[in-house]
Amino acid sequence: MTGRTEGATRAECMTAVVQDRYGAAPEEVLRVGERDLPVPGDGEVLVRVRAASVDMGTWHVMAGLPYPIRAAGFGVRRPKAANPGRTLAGTVVAVGTGVSGFGPGDEVYGVGSACFAEYATAPAAKLVARPSALPPEQAAAAPISGLTALQAVRDHGRVRSGQRVLVIGASGGVGSFAVQIAKAYGAEVTGVCRTSKVEAVRALGADHVVDHTREDPTDGRQRYDVVLDIGGNRRLAHLRRALTPRGRLVIVGGENGGRWLGGTDRQLRAQALSPFLRQHLGTFVARENAADLAVLDELIASGAVTPLVDRVFPLAETAAAVRRVLDGQAVGKVVVAVR
C-alpha cells in the first residue's frame, strides 16, 4: 500500500482527526478531515482502527505541555503526528518489512501513532493479538493506562499479597486498572475518589473506598505499605504521612500545572529525598512493550482485570471525548469508536 500521489482516488484517503498546531482546548485544535493513508515502515503494521482511547496523556500530547514533551519526540514547534491518539484496537491490513508474527486479517491492540483515524500505523513490538471475547472498545482502553498501572503496581510499588495499598485517583484510566491489578496481586486495596464515583470504584473490587471530599486519606490515621498517587497534587509530606515507616510511594504523573514542569517538580523532589529516608519515594515513565501487554492481556483473559469504559464517542466527536477526560468527568476510560 502506498501513500497518496497526484491524482489519487478517494480510496487512498481516509477520515481522520487532524491537528495542525498545539493548543490546550481540544475544540480549537482538533478537527475531522481527510488525510492520506499512512504507510507502514520497517517493523510496523498498518491497522484498520476499530477503536482508540483517550487519557490525560492524550491532552498533554495535544497541548504540547509541559514543554519538555515536545523535545521528547512529539514535535518542537508543531505536532509531529497528525493527531494525539496513541492507543488502538483493530485489524491488520498490511505489514512493513521485518515484521513477523502478524499478517493481514489479524485482530490486534496496542500502541500506535495518530490513532484517531480510520487507519493508523503501529510498531509490531507494541501490539498483541486481540482475543475475540474482548470487544474492541475495551481492548483500546487497555494499552497505555493498563501498562502504566501494571508497572506501578508490580515494578515500582512491588505489591505483594497481604499488603495494604492506597490508590489515589482510583476512578481514572490508570487508577481503575491499578485497583484491579493490586487486588490480583493479593493486596487489600483502598481507592480514593470523589462522591459521584464511589460506587464505580467499589465495583472494581476495592476493599475500601474513601471519598476525598469528605475525608483526607493521607491524614495519618491509616498507614499503607504502598501508596499510588495517580495524577494528583498532594504534598509529599502528606503522602508520606499515609505510608508505613518502610512503605513505598509511587507518583504516577501529576496535574498541578506549570508549562515547564507540569507537576513533575513533585516527582523530582520525591526522588531527591528518597535516598535519605527509610521510606521509598519514586516515580517512573511507563515502558510501552509487547511483553507487558501480554501480561496485561493474561490478567484480562483470566477475569482479574476488566477495562472500565466510561463512554464511547464517534470519531467526529473526538474533541468532546478529550474534553470529558480533561474536565475530570470520566470514570475509567473514554473511548473513540471508528466504524
pTM: predicted TM-score of the whole model, two decimal places: 0.92
In three-state secondary structure terms, 135 is coil
- E strands within 169-220? 188-193, 208-211
Distance CA 47, CA 146 (A): 21
Which residues are 16's β-sheet partners? 33, 117
Given this model, what pLDDT does residue 23 score?
94
Question: Each residue's pLDDT tens digit in the chain (339 positions)?
Answer: 433 222 333 458 999 999 999 999 999 999 999 999 999 999 999 999 999 999 999 999 999 987 777 877 788 889 989 999 999 999 999 999 999 999 999 999 999 999 999 999 999 999 999 999 999 999 999 999 999 999 999 999 999 999 999 999 999 999 999 999 999 999 999 999 999 999 999 999 999 999 999 999 999 999 999 999 997 788 999 999 999 999 999 999 765 556 655 567 777 888 888 889 999 999 988 999 999 999 999 999 999 999 999 999 999 999 999 999 999 999 999 999 997
**What's the grid cell of residue 164?**
495494604
Please, are residues 84 and 116 in contact by the beta-carbon 8 Å criterion? Answer: yes
Burial environment of residue 327 by CB neighbours within 10 A (0 to 12, 13 to 18, 19 or more): exposed
Domains and CATH numbers, the chain: 10-142+307-337 (3.90.180.10), 145-283 (3.90.180.10)
Burial environment of residue 236 by CB neighbours within 10 A (0 to 12, 13 to 18, 19 or more): middle
